[in-house]
Amino acid sequence: MATSFPWVTSADLPVLHCTLESMLLKGITSVEGKATCNRCRAEVPIAYDLDAKFREVRDYVAANIHIMDDRAPEHWMCPRLPDCGSCGKKACMWPQIPNEKREINWLFLFLAQMLGCCTLEGLKFFCKNTKNHYTGAKTRVLYYAYIEMCRQLDPQGPFNI
């Protein structure tokens, strides 16, 4: 059974999310996930401000969508990981991504700009179940995943590809 997140519209299709406006009206203002340090194995929750982080990603996509050529930029492919507060190691907090694709916290990974930490198979699952192109190189499938998340959160945005 899929993990139910309050921002998912259907437990049967956990890749479909409420709009940003809908989430804010429901009082959802932050999105939390977990990460594990690659060095000391510390597990910590990480929370992101929903509105601020979405606008950061949205503004980047809106400004660059026409030059991306249907390919994810390098910083999405190899995301900058958070630092570990326990051992002090830099860029070592890997997001916890369940093996069961229906349990992945897609919104958390999107806001953190860490969808690139997913396997190609995980990204294909997301794109296939959102009726997007899901074959080809990871850079292309990852690009479509980001665009789809932008579309879901802001259906009126400039994300038609």
- Is residue 84 scored above 70 in pLDDT? yes
Would you state the pLDDT for residue 1?
Answer: 43
Looking at residue 161, its pLDDT comes to 61
Grade residue 3 by pLDDT with cuts at 50, 70 and 90.
low
Which residues, in sequence order, are bridge partners of residue 45?
A: 34
Q: C-alpha distances in angstroms, 114 versus 24, 25, 96, 123?
A: 22, 26, 11, 12
Q: pTM for this one?
A: 0.95
The more confidently predicted of residues 105 and 3 is 105
Confidence of residue 111 (pLDDT cuts 50, 70, 90): very high
H or E element at residue 93: strand 93-95
Rounded to the nearest integer, the mean pLDDT of the chain is 95
Which one has a higher pLDDT value, 159 or 19?
19
